[in-house]
Amino acid sequence: MTSATDIRPFRIAIPDDDVDDLRDRLSRTRWPDDLPGTGWERGVPGDYLNGLVEYWRTSYDWRAQEARLNEIPQFTTTIDGQTLHFAHVRSPEPDALPLVLTHGWPGSFVDFVKVVGPLTDPRAHGGDPADAFHVVVPSLPGFGFSTPVAGPGWGDLFRVAGAFAELMRRLGYERYGAQGGDIGSGVTGMLGMLAPDRVVGTHINGPAEFPFGPPVSLEGLSEVDRDRAERFNQYQAEGLGYLHLQSTRPQTIAYALSDSPAGQLAWIVEKYREWTDPAADLPEDAVDRDQLLTNVSLYWFTRSGASSAHIVYEGMQAFRRYVEQAANEGGGEAHEPPKGPPNGVAVFAGDHSIRQLVDPAGSIEHWSEFDRGGHFPAMEAPDLLTTDVRAFFRGLR
């Protein structure tokens, strides 16, 4: 007899009918007319997406990618009424530190496949075995196989962090580190707040100013930070359409994302063009094309385009309530927030992170900046991310 709290083995097995349906839908894509003389400044160009759709339909091998993913041990459990999917790879090193890795949007647990081996078994990847981790990679509720969503409220990152803390408890991990980016950075930070006696340190990548705040002033910035600020201001002016729509009318976009794989692909691939290393001209210049399509396929097969949009909606609503509450309490006595575990930050070439804005008090213990990579470092620059995570946690074991 099984219990809801049991850890259940999980294996990906997408039905043949679903794979055939994907290919059929791709073959029947109804294409819009391109406006002559336009390019990426208006969104994903038709000629580019047409070629990527054709590759997805005729050359991409889902079954081969599914088999590779199934080489990673995966499980599910039920926490607070929600099915939670996660990968869990124990290191061969007995003194390894447990580490929970949290993805963001438009990502999934697929983001981390290139770093699992180096993190869990550094001895086999040219590293020091003393830097080994037991790795846990949950799928956020509403993403991948942590679907369907049992009910509203899973966009509250405190709730998600609480679920991840319970997951680590069920796995028997008393002390662990946490790492994440995008939504995952929020969950990671909250894990440190919710379980400060268990979380030894939190490491995030790519923090930036709140996107709906004022533009960043360029005055007094270094050349590197000025470039980051200019890109952030351009993102504010031209790149927030996806966020406005998902954070206000998620159900409206849900129909298109659930009915058209070409639409789901365009919705995601635009971010691989805009948020990756600025030196990369096309998305596949920044990330492996098959890994990109595996992530998009996962969204398609699990209908995560819709459910993740609702998670973004709830997350933004919760954040706005927090901002309003903080503004209303602004006239009261200031309270020093409790000191949590040590923090580490990795900034990659495509990120907007400016330390004097993100960390004006200089309280972040570990801050690294790199000249390549971007918003998806586990996919773009797995070597840099792995090295920085090892370095940050080395003194916290």
| pLDDT one-digit tens code per residue, 157-195 | 999 999 999 999 999 999 999 999 999 999 999 999 999
How far from 210 is each of 178, 213, 294, CA to CA, in Å? 22, 6, 30
Give pTM, 2 decimals: 0.95
Question: What pLDDT does residue 333 have?
Answer: 46
Distance from C-alpha of 54 to C-alpha of 34, rounded to nearest angstrom: 17
Q: What are φ and ψ of residue 384, in 5° steps?
A: -70, -45
Structure tokens at 366: 């570990």
**How big is the chain by its Cα radius of gyration, in Å?**
21
pLDDT in tens, 78-136: 999 999 999 999 999 999 999 999 999 999 999 999 999 999 999 999 999 999 999 99
- 322 carries an active-site annotation: yes
Active site residue 182: yes
Q: Which amino acid is at 315?
A: G
Residue 230's identity, in one-letter code, is E
Give me the residues paired with residue 77 across strands. Answer: 84
| Three-state DSSP state, 60 | coil
pLDDT above 80 for 310: yes
Lowest mean pLDDT among 221-230, 333-342, 379-388: 333-342
pLDDT in tens, 377-393: 999 999 999 999 999 99
CA distances (Å), origin 265, targets 35, 212, 310, 319, 339:
20, 26, 18, 28, 42
> For 286, phi and psi rounded to 5 degrees?
-100, -40
Q: Which of the following is catalytic: 60, 313, 375, 388?
A: 375
> Residue 21: which of 326, 280, 287, 260 has the closest Cα?
260
CB atoms within 10 A of CB 72: 18
Share above pLDDT 70 across residues of the chain, in percent, rounded to a whole number: 97
Residue 258 DSSP class: H
Neighbours of 67 (CB within 10 A): 11
Q: For residue 293, what pLDDT band results from cuts at 50, 70 and 90?
A: very high
Q: Spot the catalytic one: 182, 277, 290, 351.
A: 182
β-partners of residue 368 are 346
60 belongs to the catalytic site: no
